[in-house]
Amino acid sequence: MSTAISIQQLSKRFGKTQALNNLTFDVEDGDIFGFLGPNGAGKTTTMRILATLLRPDSGRASILGHDVILNASAVRPIIGYMPDITGAYRDMIVSEYLEFFSAAYRFSLADRSRFV
């Protein structure tokens, strides 16, 4: 089995708040994985780093072998991130939302039609 997600000693600080402190884990291809924990535990910070939206202060993270910092352009087409508080447009149906974001990530029309 291959590693789908690899996080090694990931750390991130926001001012005086340590959001991640040497987080390390792997998720193997085919595993079902979820984050559980209280507010402030680092779940959103970790997901934002994996989605290439935030840079860690130290450590490494990769998706399917692609480093999220060094090869973000290879990561973005293979991972999706939808935060619970960011603008879901009330009048948009799911397929329109997927179309919108796949266009934002510059998927070709042919690729978009496969996903939407």
- Give the model confidence (pLDDT) of 17-42 as tens digits: 999 999 999 999 999 988 898 988 99
| Residues 72 and 34 occupy one common structural domain | yes
Domain match, 39 and 65 both: yes
42: left (phi over 0), alpha (psi -120 to 50) or beta: left
In the three-class reduction of DSSP (H, G, I as helix; E, B as strand; rest coil), residue 54 is classed as coil
Domain count, the chain: 2
- CATH code where residue 72 lies: 3.40.50.300
19 and 61 together in one domain = yes
Residues 8, 28, single domain; the answer is yes
- Calculate mean pLDDT across residues 43-55: 93
Q: Do both 58 and 15 map to the same domain? A: yes
In SS3 terms, 65-106 reads as CEECCCCHHHHHHHCCCCCCCCCCCCCCCHHHHHHHHHHHCC
Q: pLDDT at position 77, please?
A: 85
C-alpha distance across the termini of the chain, in Å: 29
Of residues 62 and 112, the one with the higher pLDDT is: 62
Could you tell me how far CA 20 lies from the centroid of its own chain?
15
pTM of structure: 0.74
Q: What is the extent of the structural domain holding 98?
A: 82-116
